A and B are shown apart, each in its own frame.
Chain A
């Protein structure tokens, strides 16, 4: 799986948009970009994923650059409960023995401040 690079930490004001970047310059054509977050002492929570098109769901938006070498997770209106470690992962999706196998980097610690 491709390696990702994320900033170690970011701050965001409550109610503002949080934009979390991720670099994945060695991503392969069949690898998806997944985002998860982990609130302290809990298991990671799935947020969103995409291949090449921008994606949006009830939690966040995912913007993937045209060359797919980087992406940005956007939390449109951050709340204090969004304080967590956010992980960007690239991996193959599909029917194979490694479906779902994820390699976690260090992630970005997002702190939402009042």
Chain B
């Protein structure tokens, strides 16, 4: 199957700083990428949909000015957590897919664990 990578795998930062997480599709081009957040012992929660060359679409309750998403190419999307606070500590997971009738399988990255001190 297709491979999606994330960088970094884990990051620790101080409160008030910004953190950038990269999501790359390694062997395919992804017109759409998704960003999820997962708190301990909970399911994945969709944060936003990122389409190459256009503004991201955020889910209700997700602050677009706090979670900046850029999808500059068909293989790269970035999520920047601005002015991070301890409550932003979570497991952030991206996924990538290419639309196609019955064939648009969604491939997930390995996740990035963010800890804000």
Task: With both chains docked as a complex, state the minimum distance between the C-beta of B26 and any C-beta of chain A, in angstroms.
Answer: 14
Q: Which residues of A contact B46 (CB under 8 A)?
A: 101-104
| Nearest neighbor of B93 in chain A, beta-carbon distance | A43
Instruction: Please state if B102 and A104 are interface contacts (CB–CB under 8 Å).
Output: no
Binds A, one of B11-19, B70-78, B79-87, B104-112: B104-112
Q: Which residues of A contact B57 (CB under 8 A)?
A: 97
Given A41-B91, A99-B104, A105 and B43 contact (CB-CB distance below 8 Å): yes
Q: Which of the residues A42, A49, A97 comes within 8 Å of B51, measured between beta carbons? A: A97
Task: With both chains docked as a complex, state the minimum distance between the C-beta of A89 and any C-beta of chain B, in angstroms.
Answer: 9
Given A46-B1, A93-B102, A94-B101, A99 and B109 contact (CB-CB distance below 8 Å): no
Q: Which residues of B contact A93 (CB under 8 A)?
A: 100-104
A-B contact pairs, 15 of them (CB 8 A): A34-B106, A36-B106, A38-B44, A43-B6, A44-B95, A51-B102, A93-B102, A94-B101, A95-B101, A96-B99, A100-B95, A102-B46, A102-B95, A104-B43, A107-B43
Q: Which residues of A contact B110 (CB under 8 A)?
A: 42-43
* A11 sits at the interface (CB 8 A): no
Instruction: Please state if A99 and B97 are interface contacts (CB–CB under 8 Å).
Output: yes
Instruction: Please state if B95 and A32 are interface contacts (CB–CB under 8 Å).
Output: no
Q: Which residues of A contact B101 (CB under 8 A)?
A: 93-95
Instruction: Please state if B99 and A99 are interface contacts (CB–CB under 8 Å).
Output: yes
Q: Which residues of B contact A45 (CB under 8 A)?
A: 108
Instruction: Please state if B100 and A95 are interface contacts (CB–CB under 8 Å).
Output: yes
Q: Which residues of A contact B4 (CB under 8 A)?
A: 43
Q: Which of the residues B51, B91, B106 comes within 8 Å of A102, measured between beta carbons? A: B106
Q: Which residues of A contact B95 (CB under 8 A)?
A: 43-44, 100, 102
Given A94-B99, A95-B100, A104 and B44 contact (CB-CB distance below 8 Å): yes
Q: Which are the 10 A-B pairs with shortest beta-carbon distances?
A: A100-B97, A99-B99, A43-B108, A95-B99, A100-B106, A104-B44, A94-B101, A99-B104, A104-B43, A44-B108
